[in-house]
Amino acid sequence: MNLTRRDFLKVGAVGGVGATIFGFDMAPAYAQMRELKIARATETRSTCPYCSVSCGVIIYTLGDKAKNVTPQVVHVEGDPDHPINRGTLCPKGASLEQDILNPRRLVKPQVRRPGSDHWEDIPWDKAIDEIGHWVKKTRDASFVDKDAQGATVNRCEGLSWIGGCTDTNEFNYLVVKTMRSLGVCYLENQARV
Ligand code: SF4
């Protein structure tokens, strides 16, 4: 077989075709490689958190679920059975694995004090106590029970809430109930999941 340099590069680019030209059928080997990568992984169906299209994804996790084993995400891809995206993901959704396995991801609360130029770590208990303290103080200071015409309104004008696209419908339901019970009327979310 006479292969020009151009033919050789073309063959290299399409891998499996090249293997056939050289007399080997590599298809079973490629199939085996693809299977091995996720063969022992657990499949978890989820939703891309990035935008309101809400594409379905499958998250592959290694780990035998034993108590002393930390599950490890090894691959994320579009869910072919999902009616919205049918297996496809845009570049942002396709990078989801890097969102999960990112050393810069925040996993503990932080606070920036008034006048400070930096964020500091804070324990969860202290963070929750401080949030409760400031919510009450702000609500007490900004609660309006009657408007200018004397109508009862019972609203808190000093607090607002904004939710993110990763919040589930159930989470948003609880948020709205909680915020309404405080009298908060400025609230928004991206309910879709
Ligand atoms: S994969 Fe892209 S289009 Fe789909 S939900 Fe995520 S960000 Fe939106």
Average pLDDT, the chain: 86
Mutate which of 82, 85, 190 for ligand 1 pocket (most atoms within 8 A of beta carbon): 85
For ligand 1, the distance from its centroid to the CA atom of residue 108, given in whole angstroms, is 26
Q: What is the pLDDT of residue 18?
A: 47
**Binding site membership of 187 for ligand 1 (Cβ less than 6 Å):** no
**Binding site membership of 76 for ligand 1 (Cβ less than 6 Å):** no
Residue nearest atom 8 in ligand 1 by C-alpha distance: 51
The CATH code that applies to domain 40-103 is 2.20.25.90
User: Which of 32, 34, 87, 27 lies closest to 56 in space, CA to CA?
Assistant: 87
Q: What is the pLDDT of residue 35?
A: 64
User: Which of 105, 31, 96, 102 lies closest to 59 in space, CA to CA?
Assistant: 96
Q: Let me know: does 176 contact 185? Beta carbons within 8 Å.
A: no
Q: Where in the chain is the domain with CATH 2.20.25.90?
A: 40-103
Residue nearest atom 6 in ligand 1 by C-alpha distance: 93
Q: What is the pLDDT of residue 67?
A: 77
Q: What is the pLDDT of residue 170?
A: 87
For ligand 1, the distance from its centroid to the CA atom of residue 68, given in whole angstroms, is 34
Of ligand 1's listed atoms, the one at least distance from the Cα of 88 is 1
Element (H, E) at 187: strand 184-188
Is the predicted pLDDT of residue 116 greater than 80, yes or no? yes
Give the three-state DSSP class for 92.
helix
Digit-coded pLDDT (tens) for 51-65:
878 899 999 998 777
In angstroms, the Cα distances linking 29 to 14, 89, 176 are: 15, 26, 53
What value, to the nearest 5°, has the Cα angle with vertex 178 and ends 175 and 181?
145
**Is pLDDT larger for residue 50 or for residue 115?**
115
**Is pLDDT larger for residue 116 or for residue 63?**
116
